[in-house]
Each structure stands twice: as C-alpha cells, then as structure tokens.
Amino acid sequence: MGVETGHAWHQLILERSTMQTGYDIEVAGGDATPSETAVQGPGPVINDAIGRALQTHYRVLTEEPLPSRFLVLLAELEAKEARLD
C-alpha cells in the first residue's frame, strides 16, 4: 500500500479524513483507486451493518468446537517441562 509510508503530513491527512463520518457514495460504490480521499469509510448506516456482520462472523467462529490438538500440545509441553525437573 503505497499511501501508508508514514510521512507525518500524510498521517495528518489520514487522521483528518477518518474524523469525517459523512456519507460518501463515491468511495463506497465507485471504482476509484485507493488514495487519500478513499480513506474515508462509508456512512454510519452501512458501517453499522458491516460492524454487525463482522461481529456475527467472529462470534460464530469463537463458538466453533476447538480441535483437541491444542490442549494435547499444551499437555505435551507441560510434560516436557516436568521432565526437566
């Protein structure tokens, strides 16, 4: 991402852009290439819908059963450490 080079002036523009919460149809739906102006996100209603979908997506993943191998691994690591005693 060429625009994330971290120049101070650039960061300032990014910060200012993110403070705007206005509705920007051109950014949300257009084919504009990424640029400083595209840093502004979609409007609050769309952000809200995306935010809820994101949380549902993540919550469903955290509720999936865990593979047993993770706990097996920890048990093996603990057992190995115990043998060092």
Partner 1 sequence: MTDEPAVVTSEPAIEERVIVKGAGRTSAFREGLVGEMPNLRAFAISLSGRIQLADDLVQETLLKAWSNADSYQPGSNLRAWLFTILRNTYFSLYRQRGREVQDTDGIYSQRLATPAAQEGALDLADFRIALAKLPPEQREVLIMVGASGLTYEEAATVCDCAVGTVKSRVNRARAKLSELLGIVGPEDLGPGALTDAIVRVAPSNGPT
Assign 3-class secondary structure to 47-69: HHHHHHHHHHHHHHHHCCCCCCH
Contact characters 39-78, partner 1, x per CB under 8 A: xxxxxxxxxxxxxxxxxxxxxxxxxx-xx-xxx-xx-xxx
Tell me: does residue 4 bind partner 1 (CB under 8 A).
Answer: yes
Are 38 and 18 within 8 A, CB to CB? no
State the Cα–Cα distance between residues 37 and 18, nearest whole angstrom: 10
- Site size toward partner 1 (CB under 8 A) is 57
Using CB under 8 A as the criterion, which residues of the chain lie in contact with partner 1 when the complex forms? 1, 3-4, 6, 11, 14-15, 17-18, 24-25, 27-30, 34, 38-64, 66-67, 69-71, 73-74, 76-78, 80-81, 84-85
